[in-house]
Amino acid sequence: MSHCSNSHPIRNVIFDIGGVMVTFDPGGFAARLFDDPADRDFVLKRIFGGPEWIEMDRGVLPLSDGISLYHRLYPEHGAAIDRLFERWWDMFEPIPATLDIVRELKSNGAPLYILSNFMEEPFQRLIPRWGFWPLFDGAVVSYQVRCVKPEREIYDNILTKYGLSAAETLFIDDMQHNVDGALAAGLQAIRFESPERLREDLRRLGALAN
């Protein structure tokens, strides 16, 4: 469900990356990668859903150390761990219809920003591949600031860094708890469900022409 306070005009738009501008579907990816249901369940619950993943996003646990830690914690799943981290780059593909919206906003003169939970090594590897970075006026990525969404600090960080008015800034994310965190920080915010729904929401809010 989208949720937004529209008492102020939208001057700036902040986008999440995974699940909004590029695909991020751990469940579907695990289903394609592993035939064994036990491997799929382990990867989703203990890796994607575990605390170590958050600490890697936070930038306090390097990816290589995280992989070593997984092997120490779950030696019986060593083959699944290796397979996942050899292939997980393939999980991310740009979503063309979202990027069309980004370009339209950009052509209309809206300042655009990125706020994302992302690990340093994958981020540095994937950003050149995606090619959309020049469309944005700035970014805050979790590993750079040692905090993650939905913590209040990361929203305050991007607002302060770029001198943005929270009430006039729209945040777009596919996870409701991250949307809720943005709302608590005073931003306008909507949950991304599809590019088509996003376009409808932006038109409703006056950020895109009908």
For residue 164, give the CATH number of its domain.
3.40.50.1000
Distance CA 50, CA 133 (A): 29
7 domain-assigned: no
Same domain, 77 and 152: no
Same domain, 127 and 190: yes
4 domain-assigned: no
Which pLDDT value is given to residue 138? 98
pLDDT tens-digit series, residues 172-194: 999 999 999 999 999 999 999 99
Tell me the pTM: 0.94
Q: Are 169 and 139 in contact (CB under 8 A)?
A: no
Helices (H), 4-109: 26-33, 37-42, 51-58, 63-73, 78-87, 96-107
Which pLDDT value is given to residue 22? 97
Long-range contacts of residues 21-28, Cβ cutoff 8 Å, at least 24 apart: 21/94, 21/95, 21/98, 21/99, 21/102, 21/130, 21/132, 22/92, 22/93, 22/94, 22/95, 22/126, 22/130, 23/91, 23/92, 23/93, 23/95, 24/91, 24/92, 24/174, 25/91, 26/91
Residue-range definition of the domain harbouring residue 136: 12-23+93-204
pLDDT tens-digit series, residues 48-97: 999 999 999 999 999 999 999 999 999 999 999 999 999 998 999 999 99
Same domain, 114 and 18: yes
pLDDT tens-digit series, residues 148-177: 999 999 999 999 999 999 999 999 999 999
Q: Which pLDDT band, with edges at 50, 70 and 90, does 21 fall under? A: very high
Residue where a domain stops, chosen among 71, 91, 111: 91
Same domain, 37 and 110: no
Residue where a domain stops, chosen among 91, 108, 125: 91
pLDDT tens-digit series, residues 38-48: 999 999 999 99
Q: How many separate domains does the chain show?
A: 2
